[in-house]
Structure 1
Amino acid sequence: MSRGSQFVAGICGLCAEACDACGTECGQHEAEHCQSCAEACRQCAEECRQLAGAAV
């Protein structure tokens, strides 16, 4: 990001997709550690989306 790479937005967008998928999968399980993982993934996805938007 600091060098202004043309790939940053795409990489951050892909990271957000992966985190969303992980959060969805983990969110389907009732175990506390799965719910904690799902929340962490959702937060990561949001951060990645923000970075992707900043890179554009």
Structure 2
Amino acid sequence: MSLGSDKAQQLCKICADICDKCANECSKHQSEHCKKCAEACRECAKQCRQMVTATV
């Protein structure tokens, strides 16, 4: 990403999508582990989206 790869945006978008899907699935469950996982995945997706805009 720091080298300006043309694949950086694609990679970050894919990562955000995967994290969103994981967060959605984990949020369906009530265990503390799943709640923490969903929260971590949402934060990861947010950071990936920020990286997409930073690499434009």
**TM-score with structure 2 setting the length:** 0.97
Aligned residue runs from structure 1 range 18-37, under 5 A: 18-37=18-37
Question: Percent identity at matched positions?
Answer: 52
Give the unaligned 5+ runs of structure 1: none
Q: Shift of the alpha carbon at 1:15?
A: 0.2
C-alpha distance in structure 1 between counterparts of 2:35 and 2:15, whole Å: 20
Secondary structure at the aligned position of 2:5 is classed as coil
Aligned residues: 56
CA RMSD of aligned residues (A): 0.5
Structure 2, unaligned stretches of length 5 or more?
A: none
1:3 paired residue number: 3
Moved over 4 A (4+): none
